[in-house]
Chain A
């Protein structure tokens, strides 16, 4: 891939099936784009973690009953002030408000359910569509403000 000037938006639209190698490749493209825009090590940590949690949720929950070769759609746009990531699965969707708070004492030892908490902790915004099968999350570079969408 030809390196982009760091001021140009860096974006891609990808289809990813539930294969660790494909997921790593998609993540690699995202990380390369973030690095081209000189985001910090902490930003890369936050964005990688959020990407992995979101795509894992999409396959584990969204595609739980769907064929294994059905792809999840992954779009990203990296700009100087923010990184916007969209992950859409082909499942029936869910209501994120029904996910129990994993930090409550009665849930603290549950084996799962922490992905959304981590995404919301690290990203400036993380919103599902009404159907609950598409997550749009935005990482905002510290010191810049989030534009209204």
Chain B
């Protein structure tokens, strides 16, 4: 895989950056680091960034990925922005429950629900 190949798809809808993972497995540190760097560029491109991360394609993820999500959440909060997660497979949602990170993140079943939850 070329080093400069994007690991996420980004759509811009109603002032929200919708990010979707391309890979089914979000496991190894190198890929996860590259994904975080792409997302950080989106966050730093605006004040009060509004970001929706969709896990629609994701079948496996590691605790390293959770650590990077926390870092992304902190960066967004520091810029008075909003982060929503959506379309999480039940098996992966269980990982959020075990780690209790469901209390940290705003998680919605669908993209539509997540979009409606953003504050103006």
Where chain A touches its partner, the secondary structure class is helix
Q: How many interface residues does chain B have, given as a range? A: 20 to 34
- Contact code string A92-105 (vs B, CB < 8 Å = 1, else 0): 00000000001100
Within 8 Å of chain B (Cβ to Cβ): is A23?
Answer: yes
Given contacts A48-B60, A49-B62, contact A108 B28 (CB under 8 A): no
Q: Which residues of chain A are within 8 angstroms of B28 by Cβ–Cβ distance?
A: 20, 23-24, 52
Q: Which of A20, A24, A53, A109 contacts B62 (CB 8 A)?
A: A53
CB of A118 within 8 A of CB of B100, answer no
Q: In the complex, how many residues of chain A place their beta carbon closer than 8 angstroms to a beta carbon of chain B? A: 24
A114 touches B27 (CB 8 A): no
- Contact A103/B99 with A23-B28, A109-B70 known, Cβ cut-off 8 Å: yes
Tell me if B104 counts as interface (CB < 8 A to partner A). Answer: yes
Q: CB-nearest residue of chain A relative to B91? A: A45
With A108-B104, A111-B70, A114-B63 given, is the CB distance from A56 to B29 under 8 Å? Answer: yes
Q: Judge whether A121 is part of the interface by a CB distance below 8 angstroms.
A: yes
Chain B residues near A110 (CB, 8 Å)? 67, 70
B100 and A103 contact, CB distance less than 8 A: yes
B residues 26-79 touching A (CB-CB < 8 Å): 27-31, 59-60, 62-64, 66-68, 70-71, 74
Return 25 A-B CB contacts under 8 Å, by A number.
Answer: A20-B31, A41-B91, A42-B91, A49-B60, A49-B95, A52-B27, A52-B60, A52-B62, A53-B63, A56-B63, A102-B99, A103-B100, A108-B101, A111-B71, A112-B63, A112-B64, A114-B63, A114-B66, A114-B67, A114-B99, A115-B62, A115-B63, A117-B98, A118-B98, A121-B98
